[in-house]
């Protein structure tokens, strides 16, 4: 026996034990301190992030009347794994669905992107009746839970296009924007879309801990790391809810749009697109998609189409005002200038056609809306000596026109507005060939026809600029965001038009006043108010002409600039002018002195050709 030798083995054995311990401690160091994966895994195991949805901001009209508020609604959520063995038949009965549907939804809740352990929506926005029934019996349905959400509610069924609607966020958007999760709500159109950020507020998160059976065990660190939901901000709109409602009533049975602007601020007073729809139709759960489909496929009336911002109409004779201003600014015509009119524009063999307006001066040409006169004016501008090259003359006219807003994106605070079109030189070069067209070729541009198009909002902006004698504020419908009523500074910026000659505006205003007094709008004179107007009859290739009427009032210190366009209604003086006159009268005086006119206008159904007014002066 060699005990002293063997005794050395204690060192080897001890060393072995120590080495193993060191290996283990190193391994612990690695998984506990270096590798973060396990920390994440532990959180995924035990933490459930519960989203607290903020209340969406209310929207008020210019007088503080409520346009949009919220109503609580409840979603039914299910965690399939926990719902095993729940009383399916009883639940189906409450929800008024059959077993097949139940199983279909259960399957959907189980499969990706949902999971058996994850809560997902079983039924959205329960009706009040089902909610009441369900709330009592919920304890019987294991795995099911109610989640409070808010839906929009509209006290008056108006301004659907303007306000827009809220709906579930698209998959695309949810993937791109980290704020949204699938199933979240987002403003899809109108104010709801463009003011989504202040309206939505900020979601809060509650960290809830669950055990291995997914049973809630309480808040993580007593809620120390939770974030509170920040409610959405209120919006103070410039819309006059009464004017909006009145405009929509007057436009009932007619296709078209009304846009009214306060020229002194650029605030939109009303924005009517007709036919419209009740915004309350697009909030509910089940009904919502049904209603949307119905509106979406109404190809005759296109009720979802916002004509005020998106329909590009030829402005017709209302455009003559711009020609008159540009020509005066360029010193090409004066108040007393007259042009021949021989039931049409003589150089082009009587086209564009006209009534016989012999020797009217500038204001008279506006009041009587002489086509021939403005064909000459257009030529005077385009062919003026300053621009030896014809194309330069044309571009000068085009730029001057665009300074009033046409063919530009005005930059309003509503989404999806269209720019309209003032054709470019390049366009006509393509159509006619370079050097193969002259001012006379496109002379109908001068009277607001041909390829010239504006959307109603731009038409109203033109009137506002004329009312302001040479500038406009970008039209906008929100005057204040949140309690501090913050206004976007870009809406405080004056945009000057090409025409700054104040005499030119005097002359044009005279003509517009005369339009009411003795011209094409005389049938719609507003009692007690000096107003300025201009009729338009926009010929279009799709059918009867659109009736247009532009107006601002009072002439001095104007409070409202308004445009009304009624599709396929013929002469502007017949349909659009009376509508405008009623709205202006009601807005400025607060009363209606012509109830019979109001009644007839409201009852007239142009879409179905019923209750039509007698055709007035053409």
Partner 1 sequence: MRKQEHSLFFGVDKITVFTYAILVLMGWLNIYAAVYNEDHQNIFDTTQKYGKQLIWISSAAFIAILILIIDAGFFTVFAYVFYAVLLLACIAVPYLGREVKGSRSWFRFGDFGVQPAEFMKFATNLALAKFLSNVNIEVQESRRNKLSDILKNYQNTIIATIFLGLPLVIIKLLQDETGLAIVFIAFIITLYREGLSVNFLIFGLFSALLFVLSLVMDQNTLMIILAVIAALSILFVKRNRKNLIIISIILTTACGVVFGTNYVYNHLEDHQRVRIDVLLGRGTVNLKKEGYNVNQAKIAIGSGGFFGKGYLQGTQTKYDFVPEQDTDFIFCTVGEEWGFLGSSIVIILELFLIIRIIFMAERQRSPFSRIYGYGVASVLFFHVAVNVGMTIGLMPVIGIPLPFFSYGGSSLWSFTILLFIFIKLDANRLVILR
Q: Does 47 bind partner 1 (CB under 8 A)?
A: yes
Show contacts with partner 1 in window 1-30 (CB under 8 A): 1-2, 6-7, 9-10, 13-14, 17-18, 20-21, 23-25, 27-29
Q: Does 41 bind partner 1 (CB under 8 A)?
A: yes
**CB atoms < 10 A from the CB of 200, how many?**
25
Q: Which residue, 224 or 299, has its beta carbon nearer to partner 1?
A: 224
The rounded distance, in Å, linking the Cα atoms of 318 and 561 is: 13
Query: What is residue 48's DSSP assignment?
Result: E
User: Residue 402 has which token pair?
Assistant: 């665009």
DSSP string spanning 118-149?
S-EEEESS--HHHHHHHHHHGGGSTTEEEEEE
- Among positions 55, 146, 209, 348, the unique one binding partner 1 when judged by CB under 8 A: 209
- Among positions 38, 225, 296, 432, the unique one binding partner 1 when judged by CB under 8 A: 38
The rounded distance, in Å, linking the Cα atoms of 251 and 237 is: 22
The rounded distance, in Å, linking the Cα atoms of 21 and 340 is: 111
Stretch that binds partner 1, among 39-47, 174-182, 486-494, 597-605 (CB under 8 A): 39-47
Q: Which residue, 212 or 483, has its beta carbon nearer to partner 1?
A: 212
- Among positions 42, 132, 518, 530, the unique one binding partner 1 when judged by CB under 8 A: 42
Smallest gap from residue 216 Cβ to partner 1 (A):
10
Q: Does 32 bind partner 1 (CB under 8 A)?
A: yes
Stretch that binds partner 1, among 206-214, 369-377, 436-444, 572-580 (CB under 8 A): 206-214
Q: Which residue, 24 or 496, has its beta carbon nearer to partner 1?
A: 24
Count the residues of the shown chain that bind partner 1, applying the rule CB under 8 A: 37
Smallest gap from residue 238 Cβ to partner 1 (A):
53
- Among positions 4, 33, 389, 541, the unique one binding partner 1 when judged by CB under 8 A: 33
Q: Which residue, 27 or 171, has its beta carbon nearer to partner 1?
A: 27
The rounded distance, in Å, linking the Cα atoms of 533 and 555 is: 10
Report CA-CA distances (Å) from 212 to 45, 82, 203, 375, 612: 8, 12, 27, 83, 73
The rounded distance, in Å, linking the Cα atoms of 226 and 208 is: 9
Task: For residue 205, list its beta bridge partners.
Answer: 51, 227
Q: Which residue, 47 or 53, has its beta carbon nearer to partner 1?
A: 47
DSSP string spanning 185-239?
EEE-SHHHHHTHHHHH-B-EEEEEEE-TT--EEEEGGGGTT-BPPBPPPPEEE--
Contact between 615 and 609 under an 8 Å Cβ cutoff? The reply is no
Q: Which residue, 7 or 608, has its beta carbon nearer to partner 1?
A: 7
Stretch that binds partner 1, among 184-192, 207-215, 272-280, 375-383 (CB under 8 A): 207-215
**CB atoms < 10 A from the CB of 42, how many?**
10
Residue that is written with structure tokens 């017949």 in the block = 574
Q: Which residue, 119 or 267, has its beta carbon nearer to partner 1?
A: 119
- Report phi then psi at 229, rounded to 5: -75, 135
Q: Which residue, 210 or 529, has its beta carbon nearer to partner 1?
A: 210
Going by C-beta distance under 8 Å and a sequence separation of 6 or more, which residues neighbour residue 297?
none
Q: Does 112 bind partner 1 (CB under 8 A)?
A: no
Stretch that binds partner 1, among 43-51, 267-275, 414-422, 498-506 (CB under 8 A): 43-51
Q: Does 224 bind partner 1 (CB under 8 A)?
A: no
Q: Which ranges of 470-606 would DSSP assign to H, the alpha helix?
A: 502-518, 572-589, 595-603
Q: Does 45 bind partner 1 (CB under 8 A)?
A: yes
Q: Which residue, 14 or 293, has its beta carbon nearer to partner 1?
A: 14
Q: Which residue, 81 or 555, has its beta carbon nearer to partner 1?
A: 81
The rounded distance, in Å, linking the Cα atoms of 467 and 475 is: 14
Q: Which residue, 5 or 63, has its beta carbon nearer to partner 1?
A: 5
Both ends of the chain: CA-CA distance in Å?
Answer: 134
- Among positions 89, 112, 212, 483, the unique one binding partner 1 when judged by CB under 8 A: 212
Smallest gap from residue 40 Cβ to partner 1 (A):
8
Nearest residue to 405 via CA among 508, 474, 451? 474
List interacting residues with partner 1 (CB under 8 A): 1-2, 6-7, 9-10, 13-14, 17-18, 20-21, 23-25, 27-29, 31-33, 35, 37-39, 41-43, 45-47, 209-213, 217
């Amino acid at each position: 026996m060699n005990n002293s030798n063997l005794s050395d083995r204690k060192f080897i054995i001890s060393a072995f034990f120590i080495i193993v311990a060191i290996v283990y401690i190193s391994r612990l160091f690695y998984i506990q301190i270096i590798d973060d994966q396990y920390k994440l895994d532990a959180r995924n195991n035990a933490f459930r992030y519960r989203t607290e949805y903020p209340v969406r901001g209310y929207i008020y009209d210019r007088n503080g009347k409520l346009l949009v508020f919220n109503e609580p609604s409840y979603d039914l959520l299910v965690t399939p794994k926990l719902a095993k063995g729940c009383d399916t038949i009883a639940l189906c009965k409450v929800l008024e669905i059959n077993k097949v549907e139940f199983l279909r939804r259960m399957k959907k809740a189980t499969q990706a992107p949902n999971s058996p352990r994850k809560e997902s929506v079983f039924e959205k926005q329960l009706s009040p009746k089902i909610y009441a029934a369900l709330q009592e019996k919920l304890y019987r349905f294991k795995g099911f839970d109610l989640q409070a959400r808010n839906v929009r509610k509209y006290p008056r069924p108006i301004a659907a296009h303007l306000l827009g609607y809220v709906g579930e966020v698209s998959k695309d958007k949810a993937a791109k924007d980290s704020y949204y999760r699938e199933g979240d709500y987002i403003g899809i159109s109108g104010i709801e879309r463009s003011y989504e950020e202040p309206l939505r507020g900020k979601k809060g998160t509650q960290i809830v801990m669950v055990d291995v059976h997914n049973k809630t065990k309480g808040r993580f660190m007593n809620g120390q790391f939770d974030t509170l939901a920040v409610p959405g901000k209120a919006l103070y709109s410039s819309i006059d809810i009464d004017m909006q409602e009145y405009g929509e009533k007057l436009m009932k049975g007619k296709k078209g749009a009304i846009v009214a602007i306060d020229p002194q601020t650029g605030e939109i007073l009303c924005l009517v697109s007709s036919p419209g729809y009740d915004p309350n139709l697009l909030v509910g759960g089940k009904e919502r998609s049904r209603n949307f489909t119905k509106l979406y496929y109404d190809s005759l009336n296109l009720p979802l189409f916002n004509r005020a911002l998106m329909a590009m109409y030829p402005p017709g004779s209302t455009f003559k005002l711009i020609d008159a201003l540009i020509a005066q600014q360029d010193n090409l015509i004066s108040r007393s200038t007259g042009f021949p009119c021989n039931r049409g524009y003589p150089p082009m063999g009587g086209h564009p056609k006209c009534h016989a307006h012999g020797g009217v001066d500038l204001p008279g040409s506006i009041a009587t809306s002489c086509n021939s006169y403005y064909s000459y004016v257009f030529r005077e501008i385009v062919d003026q000596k300053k621009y030896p090259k014809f194309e330069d003359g044309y571009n000068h006219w085009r730029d001057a026109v665009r300074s009033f807003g046409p063919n530009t994106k005005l930059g309003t605070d509503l989404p999806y507005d269209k720019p309209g079109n003032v054709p470019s030189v390049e366009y006509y070069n393509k159509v006619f060939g370079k050097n193969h067209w002259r001012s006379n070729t496109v002379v109908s541009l001068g009277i607001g026809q041909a390829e010239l198009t504006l959307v109603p909002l731009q038409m109203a902006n033109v009137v506002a600029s004329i009312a302001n004698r040479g500038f406009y504020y970008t039209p906008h419908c929100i005057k204040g965001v949140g309690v501090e009523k913050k206004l976007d500074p870009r809406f405080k910026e004056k945009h000057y038009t090409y025409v700054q000659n104040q005499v030119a505006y005097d002359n044009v205003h005279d003509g517009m006043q005369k339009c009411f007094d003795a011209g094409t709008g005389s049938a719609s004179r507003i009692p007690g108010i000096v107003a300025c107007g201009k009729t338009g009859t926009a010929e279009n290739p799709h059918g009867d002409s659109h009736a247009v009427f532009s107006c601002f009032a009072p002439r001095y210190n104007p409070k409202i600039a308004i445009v009304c366009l009624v599709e396929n209604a013929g002469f502007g003086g017949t349909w659009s002018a009376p509508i405008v006159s009623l709205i202006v009268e009601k807005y400025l005086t607060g009363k209606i002195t012509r109830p019979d006119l109001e009644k007839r206008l409201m009852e007239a159904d142009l879409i179905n050709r019923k209750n039509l007014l007698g055709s007035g002066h053409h």
